[in-house]
Structure 1
Amino acid sequence: MRTGNEPSTARSPLRMRLWLSLWGTLWAALGLAAFTAVGRAGWAAACGVLLLIALTDLCIVVRHLRQGPHYQPGRDVPPYEADRSGRTRPRDTPYER
């Protein structure tokens, strides 16, 4: 719910996640290749799992970056109004009495 006091300088961490995913992909791929070369199957499997996680995150981040900015209400849009339909909701908990 919009309260009206959101910071005006908030930024998305997608670019940081992009670079961290690329860094993780690079190191996981290098680890996978190195551990496969020396015959360490367990460590190679662990690096393979990390590689899949980093690649999945990379794909999600790229998809979100390509979507572009989404609509965000500006400072001139007031907070949402309360429901004034006249309906009463049932009081289920003793704390609402």
Structure 2
Amino acid sequence: MRTGSEPVTARSALRMRFWLSLWGLLWAAFGTTLFSLVEEPGWAAACGVLFVVAAVDLIVVGHHIRQGPHWQPGRDIPPYEPDRGGRGR
């Protein structure tokens, strides 16, 4: 059931995004190092760009997690306001 307020009250799985960003950061660092050692500058640069993107994402997600319940509400807070009926009908 849609209430129309989902984009305003949507939640993000920030902890999962944090671990996926960390995983991407590690693989990008590995790729940058490996491609630099085998003298493939194009692939090393591509992995370097991915490293920077993952690092920025990791910083943003960490900041949002530290902001607390505004960005990461607990299980007792509903994801959206319940349908009161009559609205939009």
After TM superposition, the score normalised by the length of structure 2 is 0.68
2:49 alignment counterpart: 49
User: Do the aligned partners of residues 46 and 11 (structure 1) sit closer, same or farther apart at CA in structure 2, a change above 3 Å counting?
Assistant: same
Distance 1:30 1:61 in 2: 22
User: Do the aligned partners of residues 78 and 42 (structure 1) sit closer, same or farther apart at CA in structure 2, a change above 3 Å counting?
Assistant: closer
Gaps of 5+ in 2: 84-89
Distance 1:67 1:44 in 2: 35
Q: Point out which structure has higher relative CO (alpha carbons under 8 A, 6+ apart).
A: 2
In our comparison, the structure showing a higher alpha carbon Rg is: 1
After TM superposition, the score normalised by the length of structure 1 is 0.62
How many residue pairs are counted as aligned between the two chains?
Answer: 72
Distance 1:44 1:53 in 2: 14
1:65 alignment counterpart: 65
Identity percentage over the alignment? 60
Matches for 1:1-97 after TM superposition, within 5 Å: 3=3, 12-70=12-70
1:85 alignment counterpart: none
2:86 alignment counterpart: none
